[in-house]
Amino acid sequence: PPTTIAATAPSPPSSSGTDNDGAVAALQAEAGAEDAGFDPARGRVARRRPPDIQPGDVDPLAGRDANADQDAEEEAEHAAHLADNEDLKALYDAMTPEEVFMEFDVDGSGFIDLAEFKDMLPKLGVKMSSAKALKYFKMCDTDGSGEIDFEEFKVALYACDPNSGNPIGFAPNNLLTPKDAFEMFDEDGSGKVDEDEFFFVLEYLQLDVPDEKQDRLFSQYDADGSGFIDYDEFKQIWLNCCDVKKELLDREITPPKFATKGQLIRILEKALGAEEEAEKRALAEADRWRKWQLILNEKKRMIAKALRRSKLELRTALDAAGQVYTLGSGTYNQFAGDVVKDISSKNYRFEGFSEVYDLWHGRIYPGESFLAKDDDDNQKRVSGKQQDEKLEIGKNISVEDPRVELMTSPFREVTCATNTAALWGRRICQVALCENVAVALSDLGELYSWGGQSHWWHEVEEDAVWQTQWRGDTTARSSTLLMTMKKDEPVEDAIEIKESEEDLEAEKYKVVTTYYAVWSAPPQSDNRLVYYKDVLVPKIPYESLKLSLETRCKAVEQSTKFDMCDMVYRDILLEKKVLGERAHRRIREMEEEVVDLRKRRKKAMAKKLILDIQEMWEPLKHMQSEEDAEAIKKAEREIEEKHVRGEQNYVKWRKGVQEGREDMNTSFSARGNSLDVQVSGITARGQQMKTPRGYAKAVAVTCGSSHASLVHENGQLYTWGMGASGRLGLDLTEDGDPSADAPKPTLVQALAGRPVVRASCGYAHSAAVTVDARLFVWGSGATGKLGLGAITDQEECFCSVPTPLVVGKNVRVRKVSCGSAHTACITDKGELFVWGCGDGGRLGLGSKRMATLYRPSRVEALAGKKIVSVSCGNSHTLCSTAVREVWQGEGSARVKVKVGGDVFEAGPLNVLGRFCPSFEQVSASRLDELAIIQVSAGFTHSGAVSASGELFCWGNNSGGCCGAPTDVKFCNEPYNVRCLFERPVNLALGKPAKQCSVYSGLDAYLAVDGNVEGGDPNFCCSTLQEPQPWWEVDLGDFAVIHSIKIWNRTDEPPDPSFESDMFQQRLFPSYLMLGQEPYLDMIGGDSLQRSLDNSVARMKLTKCQRCTTWHVPDNICARYVRVQLEGFSFLHFAQIEVFGTPGIAKPVGRCGFVQCGKNVTVGVIRALPDPRDTERAYKRAVLADAHNANILRQYETFSLEYDKYGHGDSIKNCLICKGGQLCEVCSLKSVYKEELDTLPLGIGGRIRTLDETIQGLLNAPKPPLEYTPPVKEKKGWFGTKKSTNKDDDSHHDNDSHADMLAIEDGEGDRPEHEGAEEGEDEGEEG
């Protein structure tokens, strides 16, 4: 660095140095002048800094990672992958067409207009011009309302979707084409536009054409001077006025370099023609699809109704064979176990139980019923808003609509188990309840069990034996009652991991997209199927798929892109399997060569390659044909073999059941002489279904807390269960062990010589009544419940041997009931005796006698009343008096009615809702008018069954055991379980009535005033003498009608010259009709026929009698009742009574038995007693669907009906059709009779099942395609013209591209036959 001279700081001035200042300054100035020209660096070697040389300038790899380039590429790919992921995320998040429709349907009407339609399309990835959108909208708007619903909107999507929609691979573009604009302004659809419309079209197309030129062009092409031009003429104008190059580029067609304008116009014209023809074909396909969807929707609507009818009739038939309903589920849900999936026995496989269970489950849970599946008429429209319209029966929803049953079903408020579906149709007549197990008895003597308490601990200790041994489904006590002590441990099903259908489909598309070199890894593996279908498959050219199938001799007509992918996938697998990978790749290379040759118009060579591939594929084609034929034959063979096996299995089972019923070769248990009585289980916790045996028929069953007993038909008593305190009475049987448990029904030896007629089990004791009216007791003697004296109070004792109990002197016992701590019995005189614990007043002997009684004591409060039914519960007692029939009324109005059946109760407040130390009558409004035939006392609630079939429950409603809604904790009064049955009442009494005319003031109200006497004409309604007079009553609301009684006049004419029954004869012939809509107020003419047509049920009265009763067909709902004469006369009668239940809820049957337990109630609807009703139910079921016969024949109730009527082939008249109106099944067969006549019969020549009919209807041919391919004129060798179908060669070449190739080769616009190479190919093709 250059040196610097530091200046010395001047010393402070002094007086002595002043003279020297000038000299110093001069010296400094001189030194500065010399230093001014001094260069310190002169004469020195300059010190240079080393250059900044980077290592990469010398060696490209110096100082760098060897994989830097690869890393950079990966980073770029990753960035691109992230960008793709954003796009794909948007694709995955894209809304479905339904969601888009709902978003734009702002008002929730279920319709969209044109503006909303245009806004919707971009969200679905459809791009088109406004003119094209208008055309598509008009195509969908078939009724011209200016709005379309979602079904019509799907037609437009079908035309636009090249993948899963139209089968020609067409997708519209967003270019403004002349045809779209022309049709937009051709408002009248005439195919022509006038001069004004012509100007608007050009302006809309944004063509800058001067007015003079417009006039000249219009006049030039309007050759006939009509003032109109058609589209072909307008198209020529547009070709001459548009920017041809821009239009070609917009269509992704690169204009040739040396082409003239005329040549470009011809290229554009051909491309435009191809677009228009493709769109025309796509729209024709869409229109065909629309018509086909309308046909299918109508078929599906009628099919849905027919299927509902089939299931309803099957349900009704099973109802006729008995039902069991479990209200509540027990203290620990032990009675709500899942039903077994298969109720097959060891030797017979039950078919169709899943269908039976679905019907039962749908009844218990109406929201999940098959009726909840709406058909097309009731299908909710796709809308952005929820429909707030309230459905009102009879106004905006028909009574026959299936939703009505769902809306009004009383099962919606009932807690009911579904596992008793296995007892449906089993003719159950009695049920007994233990604390955790239920046992049902059929009238055929079979036993069924369900329930059982599972183990209360959830974990097993480490050192417990249950770590290595199976402890069973239930506790030891429950297993003893269910007879599953030796039940084997269920074999766990081997876990077989199967590839899901979605994975298989994704693999298919992966193979196909790889074949066409468009495959790429999906960004999200969980959505790979969506990625393949929505991203990769659209990248496969339609023509490539078409070519691949063409080379493999496949027809592609009416095949979508996805269908073609399926066919290609199958071909690829076969190629690799038979020809090998090498040949497979060679075929793909040949396909690519064909594409290239077609682009260069080497048609003959391309065709030769196709023939070569087809030759290679000829053996494979035959292999596929043989495989398809074999697959069809195999499927048919499997169906036939399944049918044959089913028939053989049924015959074998039927024979086995008959032999079992007749089998009197008794089978005894391993120990003792007890019969081998089997109990079938209906849940997974129980045993397998057992084949019934005739020697083991039971006639009665009863249960205690932990033990049960049954009475054999020969009078022997069997007990099983927990044996503590000797409650089983098996001291003489089980090797002298009085407390031994019995895992199977074991004979009570002490009563072997005394036939038992009735038995009862309590908490720890039992009792039985023998045929000689003697009472035997055994078990725990605590609280004096055995009635053996005060000794049981001094010591805790039990009696392990049935011991006779003397109730009184010369007293004969008929019935007995055991409670938890007390017992009651009824004598042959109807007297009630009680003994045991008296806490809470359960004995009913009064507040002063609530102590324990050790001897039977007669209930004096019931003296004079004949008691016929008694039931002892945990802490209360119920009893009822006898029911008898008496005559009421006088003269011809005398009728038989049932009286009696009064219910009395005794017990504490917490059970009865009132403290009853003495027996008091249950004086509820519902029970006063009813005759109760059976009562049951449970743990803390009670039940009763009326003679008319109603079930009543009251008391603690824990878990809904009383049949009331669960929010009701206690029922103070008997609650009618309406879901089973409700007693019909006279609904017409006092309701508004009218008639066509009034004679002498005898108006219509006289027929609904309750007076059935017909002797005084002043109390009978009467019309004038006129043609077809009528009388009508409005019930006020819809009701289920059971029966109608019409009472005739009984007076005689005062003139003896007239017939004595002249007034009675006037009522006949007439019609009794039920309607859901009001009848017309017409007289004469066709008024009667119109009334009949408006009726849902009708009956013709022809027999002259005092009282005519019409038993209305089951489950008929109506509101209006009309009586109308057939001829010209007076209409008069005394009274009409319409018996039914208000509302739409239809009863399931009349309850015949009830059993109350601990927080559970079981109601039994017994089988119909009249075999004619069973036969009718079977015939209706098989007429609705022959398949129902295969299900019903497995129930012994319908075995004879199956032998007689089979699958319904011999039944000529339909029993379901009513009132001249065809049923749903007959309507389906009538409408599509021509199509059904072409179908073959069922297997074995039987009548077709409903499923076979449905398959035939849905697989019927589609309507014809309304599309005519254009005729293309081509020049021949010698200038002649030949007509060819454009479709014949449309797949061989792209004419526009071929013209461009010819222009670029310098050939210009020469004829097609010129040129050596092209002429050769054209000649070979010709």
Question: Which residues, other chains included, contact 321 with Cβ-Cβ below 8 Å and sequence gap of 6+?
Answer: 424, 425, 426, 427, 1167, 1168, 1174, 1195, 1197, 1198
pLDDT tens-digit map of 153-174: 888 888 888 888 888 888 888 8
Contact 339, 354 (CB under 8 A): no
**pLDDT range class, residue 1035, cuts 50, 70, 90:** very high
Nearest to 692 by CA among 443, 347, 346, 444: 444
Q: Please state, in angstroms and rounded to a whole number, the distance separating the CA atoms of residues 970 and 984.
A: 27
pLDDT at 23 over 80: no
360/354 Cα distance (integer angstroms): 10
**1280 contact partners, CB below 8 Å, separation of at least 6:** none
Neighbours of 1313 (CB within 10 A): 16
For 12, 17, 884, 1088, the CA distances from 28, given in Å and listed in that order, are 17, 17, 158, 149
Q: State the pLDDT at residue 472.
A: 62
DSSP 1158: S
Q: Is 144 exposed, middle or buried (0-12, 13-18, 19+ CB in 10 A)?
A: exposed
| HEC-encoded secondary structure of 892-913 | HHCEEEEEECCEEEEECHHHHC
pLDDT at 153: 86
- Residue 1099's nearest CA partner among 1107, 1195, 1108, 1090 is 1108
Q: Which among 776, 792, 795, 775 is positioned nearest to 836, based on CA atoms? A: 792
* Alpha-carbon distances, residue 1276 vs 604, 1281, 1292, 1311 (angstroms): 17, 6, 18, 10
Q: How confident is the model at residue 1287 (pLDDT cuts 50, 70, 90)?
A: very low
Is the pLDDT at 1271 greater than 70, yes or no? yes
- The string of pLDDT tens digits covering residues 626-639 is 999 999 999 989 98
Query: pLDDT value at position 108?
Result: 75
Quick one: how many helices (H) and strands (E) in the chain?
Answer: 36, 44
Give the pLDDT score at 776: 97
pLDDT, average across residues 280-307: 91
For residue 1020, which amino acid is it?
A: C
Q: What's the DSSP call for residue 409?
A: -
Whether the per-residue pLDDT at 884 is higher than 50: the answer is: yes
DSSP state of 1263: P
Rg of the Cα trace of the chain? Answer: 47
**Is residue 286 pLDDT above 70, yes or no?**
yes
Q: Taking 70 as the threshold, does the pLDDT of residue 381 lie above it? A: no
Average pLDDT in the 201-226 region? 78
DSSP-based three-state secondary structure for 553? coil
pLDDT at 887 over 50: yes
Distance between alpha carbon 1231 and the CA centroid of its chain, in Å? 26
Please compute the mean of the pLDDT values over residues 102-121 and round it to a whole number.
Answer: 82
Cβ atoms 1079, 1091 nearer than 8 A: yes
Residues 6+ apart with CB under 8 A from 918: 841, 844, 845, 846, 847, 861, 906
Which stretch of 20-29, 732-741, 787-796, 1057-1066 has the lowest confidence by average pLDDT?
20-29
- Helix then strand then coil, in percent of the chain rounded to 5, is 40, 20, 40
Task: Note whether 638 and 589 are within 8 A (CB).
Answer: no
C-beta of residue 465 within 8 angstroms of C-beta of residue 486: no
Q: How far apart are CA 436 and CA 1228, in angstroms?
A: 49
For residues 738 and 729, give the distance between their C-alpha atoms in angstroms, rounded to a whole number.
Answer: 7
> CA-CA distance, 547 to 161, in Å (whole number)?
20
Q: Give me the pLDDT at residue 83, please.
A: 64
DSSP assignments along 1081-1104, one per residue:
---STTHHHHHHHTEEEEEEE-S-
Per-residue pLDDT of 915-954, as tens digits, reads 999 999 997 666 777 899 999 999 999 999 999 999 999 9
pLDDT, position 426? 94
1174, pLDDT greater than 90: yes
Distance CA 1198, CA 1177 (A): 10
- Could you count the other beta carbons within 10 Å of the beta carbon of residue 640? 12
Mean pLDDT value across the chain: 83
Q: 3-state SS string over 771-830?
A: CCCCEEEEEECHHHCCCCCCHHHHCCCEEEEEEEECCCCCCCEEEEEECCCEEEEEECCC
Distance of CA 528 to the CA centre of its chain: 30
Q: How confident is the model at residue 1031 (pLDDT cuts 50, 70, 90)?
A: very high
Q: What percent of the chain has pLDDT over 90?
A: 46
- Answer whether residue 1283 shows pLDDT above 50: no
677, pLDDT greater than 60 = yes
pLDDT band at residue 1289 using 50, 70 and 90 as cut-offs: very low
Distances (CA, A) of 529 to 523, 541, 943: 11, 19, 59
- In the predicted model, is pLDDT for residue 1317 greater than 70? no
For residue 916 the two structure tokens come to 């009853």
- Name the residue with higher pLDDT: 1303 or 984: 984
Q: What is the pLDDT of residues 1255-1269, one digit of tens each?
A: 999 999 889 988 888
Task: List the single range of 36-40, 519-523, 896-900 with lowest mean pLDDT.
Answer: 36-40
Q: How many CB atoms lie within 10 A of CB 677?
A: 24
pLDDT at 166: 84
Q: Which residue has the tokens 């009528």?
A: 1030
Please give the pLDDT value at position 195. 80
Q: Which residue has the higher pLDDT, 392 or 149?
A: 149
* Reported confidence tier of residue 882, pLDDT bands at 50, 70, 90: very high
Instruction: Inform me whether the pLDDT recorded for 829 exceeds 80.
Output: yes
1169 to each of 36, 1086, 1191, how far by Cα in Å?
A: 143, 42, 21
CB-CB contact of 454 with 472 (8 Å): no
Give the distance from CA 727 to its chain's centroid: 50
pLDDT bin (cut points 50, 70, 90) of residue 1310 is very low
Paired tokens of 146: 């200016």
Label residue 1293 by pLDDT band (50, 70, 90).
Answer: very low
Kindly indicate the confidence band of residue 379, based on its pLDDT and cuts at 50, 70 and 90.
very low
Average pLDDT over residues 333-350: 84
Q: Which segment of 702-711, 868-877, 1231-1240 scores lowest on mean pLDDT?
A: 1231-1240
Q: pTM, whole model, 2 decimals?
A: 0.82
For the stretch 1126-1167, pLDDT in tens is: 999 999 999 999 999 998 888 899 999 999 999 999 999 999
How high is the pLDDT of residue 78? Answer: 66
* pLDDT, position 894: 72
Of 813, 755, 753, 749, nearest to 778 by C-alpha is: 749
Per cent of the chain over pLDDT 70 is: 83
CB atoms within 10 A of CB 782: 20
C-alpha 330 chain-centroid distance: 30
- Give the full edge-to-edge strand order of the sheet including 428-433: 428-433, 437-442, 447-451, 680-681
Query: Of 75-79, 504-508, 525-529, 775-779, where does mean pLDDT reach its minimum?
Result: 75-79
Would you state the pLDDT for residue 68? 67
pLDDT average, residue stretch 32-55 = 53
pLDDT band at 129 (very low <50, low <70, confident <90, very high): confident
| Structure tokens given for 115 | 């503006």
What is the tens place of the pLDDT at every residue in 948-973? 999 999 999 999 999 999 999 999 99
**Mean pLDDT of the 72-93 span:** 63
Q: What tens digit of pLDDT does each residue of 1043-1091 get?
A: 999 999 999 998 888 888 899 999 999 999 999 999 999 998 899 999 9
CB 675, CB 667: distance < 8 Å:
yes
Give DSSP secondary structure letters for 736-756: T-TT--EEEEEE-GGGTTS-E
Give 445-477 pLDDT, tens digit per residue. 999 999 887 655 445 566 665 555 655 667 777
Choose between 63 and 510: higher pLDDT. Answer: 510
